[in-house]
A = this chain, B = another copy of it.
Amino acid sequence: MSKLVGSAIFGQSGGPTSVINASASGVIQEALKQENIVQVYGAAHGIRGILEEDFYNMREEELRELELLKSTPSSALGSVRYKLKDFNEDDTDYKRLLEVFKKYDIRYFFYNGGNDSMDTCNKISKYMQKVGYECRVMGVPKTIDNDLWATDHCPGYGSAAKYIATSTMEVYHDANVYDTGMITILEIMGRNAGWLTASSALAAHKGNGPDLIYLPEVSFDVEKFLDDVERIYKEKNNVIVAVSEGIKDKEGRYISEYGSDLAKTKDAFGHAQLGGLAATLANMTQERTGSKVRGIEFSLLQRCASHCGSLTDVNEAFMAGQMAVKHSVKGETDKMVAFEREAGDQYKCNIKLINLTDVANREKKVPREWINEEGNGIKQPFIDYALPLIQGELVFPLEDGLPRFARLNKVPAKK
């Protein structure tokens, strides 16, 4: 263990989740406790805040509010989508980062995000190594998409899955209510990996879920889909379908783009019209079956509904943040915190560290063998995998019957 004394900076990046702030809480609270860490900074809008010297002094925050971050959705410090160039081609940003790191004596860098953010984290780590600036770099994973490589699962996924499964069960009850036929199409996030859409199978496992589930891991055939829906509609007079926003045909074209052919046309006001995937499929289904069809997008709600958060997920997200700090203080660097599930019936996840190089820019998809042969349903191994991740309910403080979210002071760091 090598001792490194200096300040720490933490940033959030990419699409927010219900629990990314729980990780922030873990990083910040743990960093504030560490003797070797002098100042703890929170970067506004991730890497951009560092480049622009726009960050907050986290010692100015109240402990109560840092605790409330555990139940506050979205990225409290602000997020960013900013892709760093390869430093061998253009090192402008890196030089600026180094300048800022030196100015504030930043020796600990924690970055919280998904695939792209781990790429950023990895590049910064490698650059600091190259120029010989000692800085411990640790990635803290988050993504509702659950597509990060080499970790059992990602913080953020469990809560999104719990929300999707719960809402799907509720919609199932609602959509079954009339004696006239009805087809409901649920559009769920996930461009390349179907983990979120698969979580609707947890509702089906409870007997209140979709009849058909389509993930982007299997190429989507519109005619086959319409046949599937029509067959079940004839049987049951009621069909619920879950589709991933990222489904593509065998030519690799997004089905959601089928609708946008229309974008060339304009409505009465001269505005281009764009419909989502659910609307596109709903229209096709209505034409084929003549039934009443409703398309529902879970939209942003699935990634920010902290009121339906999984306690397991919140606790793990917090722990991931804490452990990033603890391990870095002990001397680890250039790693991402990851989860490893213990074998056995009882769910237990341990922390392991993965090389940033190994995780950056790789995607983990739903194994093909967890999807049924026809490509329209989910098999038991997925249920066994996902069910432990949605256990426990987050108890969060309320004020006037509404969530009391964290309110940070956001005192700018002294320049």
Please report A residues at the B interface, Cβ cutoff 8 Å: 16, 44-45, 48, 72-75, 78-81, 162, 165-167, 169-171, 173-179, 184, 202-203, 205-206, 208, 222, 258-259, 261-262, 265, 267-276, 279-280, 283-284, 287, 294, 296-301, 303-308, 310, 387, 390-393, 398-403, 405
Contacts and interface: CB of A to CB of B under 8 A. Distances in A.
Interface of A is mostly: mixed
Contacts of A306: 170
A166 B274 contact: no
A330 to B, nearest CB: 32
Contacts of A273: 259, 262, 273, 275, 279-280, 283
A403 to B, nearest CB: 6
21 contacts: A73-B170, A80-B178, A81-B178, A165-B402, A166-B307, A166-B403, A167-B305, A169-B405, A174-B300, A174-B303, A184-B300, A202-B400, A269-B284, A271-B283, A271-B284, A274-B275, A274-B279, A275-B279, A294-B300, A308-B308, A390-B401
A387 B401 contact: yes
Contact of A307 (B269, B301, B308): B308
A259 B288 CA distance: 22
State the number of copies, please: 2
B272 A287 contact: yes
Given A259-B267, A279-B273, A401-B162, A304 B171 contact: yes
Given A167-B305, A175-B300, A391 B400 contact: yes
A75 B272 CA distance: 39
A78 to B, nearest CB: 6
A179 B74 contact: no
B265 A265 contact: yes
A209 to B, nearest CB: 10
B403 A398 contact: no
A174 B73 contact: yes
A258 B398 CA distance: 40
Contact of A80 (B179, B203, B279): B179
Given A262-B265, A273-B279, A284-B271, A401 B310 contact: yes
The 6 A-B residue pairs with the shortest CB-CB distance, nearest first, are A74-B173, A174-B304, A170-B304, A390-B401, A391-B401, A261-B268
A45 B403 contact: no
A43 to B, nearest CB: 12
B402 A206 contact: yes
A215 to B, nearest CB: 21
Contacts of A287: 270-272
Contact of A170 (B175, B294, B301): B301
A179 B48 contact: yes
Contacts of A173: 16, 72-74, 304, 405
Nearest to A54: B179
A206 B293 CA distance: 36
